[in-house]
Amino acid sequence: MEVILVSPEAYPYAKAGGMGDVVGALFKYLPRRGIKTRLFVPGYPGLFDYPLKAMEKDVDFLFGETPIKASFYQLELGPQQSLIAVCNDRFFNREHIYGYQDDIERFIFFSRAIFEYLVRTQEEEFILHCHDWQSALLCAYIKIYWPPYRGKPAKTIFTIHNLAYQGIGKSDLLRLLNLPYNFFSHEYLEYYGNLNLLKAGLIFADIVTTVSPTYAKEITSPEFGEGLDGLIRALASKKRFVGIVNGIDIEEYNPQSDSSLVKGFSSNNLEGKLENKRHFLKDFFNWKVDTDFESKPLLTMIARLVRQKGSELILAQPDSFFQIPAFWFFLGTGEEIYEMGLKELEKRYSNVRVEIRFDEQLARLAYGASDIFVMPSRFEPCGISQLIAMRYGSIPVARKVGGLADTIVDYPFNPRLNTGFHFYEYKTEELLKTVQRAFEIYRHNKDLWKLIIKNAMESDFSWDKAIDKYVELYYSS
């Protein structure tokens, strides 16, 4: 039975965040299990760098009361694997994936276009797997409008990658949904007078998944439920809510062969990691090559600079963090308040460097060069960064929430088991104490530190386990 993935992003074709990695991995590894897999993504300009072929027919339909057309281009990657780009210049011929005033309208079109395509062309039974609010409406269309004379989907699955993003728009956008008007009610898609697209996935999918078991539990609480915890608690009593921890592509993220690094290394030979650190300090901190650089750890924070990611904890009390004899490197883009705040710190402290940009190659070098990876998230559905950091021997200091709780081991009574360090309360003092705890081991117990690096690098975060769980979910009764 064919699995159809629907997502606004999928690595390497289009990526803005962790969802792109997850969907890209599913698309890559499911066919290796002998599962026929199709992926629908918007037809962004970058996709046409690949050898896409126009499909025979465009699809016309009413978008609200306005006739509109969607074109479809296919990338055949083998008998078991194909990508379909959903194209319309008005909505997808843009420089970026998100960040436009009409994003809600764009992805309403995306779900509508895919439904119109499937309902006209799909012959065999299939499993539908939709990702985040951008494709949530498709779950509703399938459930409400799929004709009984066609082979219906065996199962619809909806994955929440980050509940903080729900696709909330003004109520007048309801006219574009082509759903009955009673769907604008608290029981369905209404949310405090607005339209909430993510609710369509929650309500109409057969199974809902999140990207870690802890996050699946957390979103039933007011603290993490983003205003939907009551609905989620009610739905969880009626349908399956499953948490599956993300993996990383260990073929892609391999410190022994990564061309972004100055020199490769492994858990049994860390000389290459020291070489990366030496070059990194020379390039970014003007540190002399012949100076002792091992006595001071290099701490990195690679993240979107938004409220979720916790840079405000450092900004609240910078003297306490930057008086520690260490180097600090920040990489990312986001909200102006955090970008400007960090750049101001760079002016005040000689041991701080800040790069406001998205740079995949620099990020990998920073993972490979750094000793400690700081991830003080307010919440974290799963997190990919801590998995990459551990793979590259950078030990995470992270808040114990969501996937950070599920993927990092911190056992204070026997730190020989550790792969990182946790703190619990979202407070500057808690983060500071945990950074200092990691620093003390780094500085005064080199043998233990090397063991923690070995534990982290040898942790199995490959996609094999996660793919097994998704396959079981697809085909279990």
283: CATH: 3.40.50.2000
Helix (H, G, I), strand (E, B) or coil at 360: helix
Helix (H) or strand (E) holding 195: strand 194-196
Per the domain annotation, does 263 fall within a domain? Answer: no
Q: What is the pLDDT of residue 34?
A: 95
Residues ≥6 apart with Cβ < 8 Å to 29: 463, 467
pLDDT at 335: 94
Q: Residue 265 domain-assigned?
A: no
Span 404-459, pLDDT tens digits: 999 999 998 999 999 999 999 999 999 999 999 999 999 999 999 999 999 999 99
pLDDT band of 277, cuts 50, 70, 90:
very high
Residue 415 to residue 434: CA distance in whole angstroms: 13
- Clarify whether residues 64 and 180 are in a common domain: yes
In terms of domains, do 67 and 201 share one? yes
Decide if 259 is inside a domain.
Answer: no
* pLDDT tens digits, one per residue of 143-185: 999 998 887 789 999 999 999 999 999 999 999 999 988 999 9
User: What does 344-374 look like in DSSP terms, one character per residue?
Assistant: HHHHH-TTEEEE-S--HHHHHHHHHH-SEEE
Which domain, by its residues, includes 182?
2-247+463-475
Give me the mean pLDDT over the 124-152 stretch.
93
In a domain, 287, yes or no: yes
In terms of domains, do 90 and 187 share one?
yes
Residue 457 CA: distances (Å) to CA of 1, 231, 443: 37, 39, 20
pLDDT at 181: 87
* One domain, residues 294 and 222: no
- The reply to whether 304 falls in a domain is yes
What is the predicted pLDDT for the residue at 58? 92
List the helix and strand counts (H, then E) for the chain: 17, 19
Written as six digits, the tokens of 96 are 């970026």
Residue with tokens 């000793």: 371
Is residue 255 domain-resident? no
15 marked as part of a ligand binding site: yes
110 and 218 in a single domain? The answer is yes
86 pLDDT higher than 90: yes
Report the sign of the C-alpha dihedral through residues 259, 453, 354, 335, in that order: positive
> Is there a domain that residue 252 lies in?
no
Residue 71, SS3 per DSSP: strand
158 burial via Cβ count (<10 Å: 0-12, 13-18, 19+): buried
For the chain, give the percent of residues with pLDDT over 70. Answer: 99
* Token pair in block for residue 460: 């199995």
Q: Where does the pLDDT of residue 123 fall: very low under 50, low under 70, confident under 90, or very high at 90 and above? A: confident
pLDDT at 477 over 90: no
Q: Say if residue 16 is in the same domain as residue 157.
A: yes
Q: Are strands 352-355 and 327-331 parallel, antiparallel or unpaired?
A: parallel
Mean pLDDT of 71-87: 96
Alpha carbon distances (Å) from 290 to 278, 324, 371: 9, 22, 19
Same domain, 106 and 149: yes
Q: How confident is the model at residue 295 (pLDDT cuts 50, 70, 90)?
A: confident
Q: Which residues contact 119 (CB under 8 A, 6 or more apart)?
A: 145, 146, 147, 150
Q: How far apart are CA 183 and CA 61, in angstroms?
A: 21
pLDDT of 290 higher than 70 = no
Q: Are residues 222 and 288 in the same domain?
A: no
Kindly state whether residues 21 and 162 are assigned to the same domain: yes
Q: What is the mean pLDDT of residues 456-477?
A: 93
Do 276 and 221 lie in a common domain? no
Task: Give the integer Cα–Cα distance in Å for 304 and 338.
Answer: 10
Q: Is residue 261 part of a domain?
A: no
203-234 per-position pLDDT tens digit: 999 999 999 999 999 999 999 999 999 999 99
Burial 291-306 (b: 16+ CB within 10 A, else e): eebeebbbbbbbbbbb
Instruction: From 244, 243, 284, 291, select the one nearest 262 (Cα to Cα).
Output: 284
% of the chain surpassing 90 pLDDT: 91
Same domain, 358 and 312: yes
CB 388 within 8 A of CB 408: no
Give the number of domains in the chain.
2
Tokens 């858990």, residue located: 267
Same domain? 237 vs 335: no
**pTM summary value:** 0.92
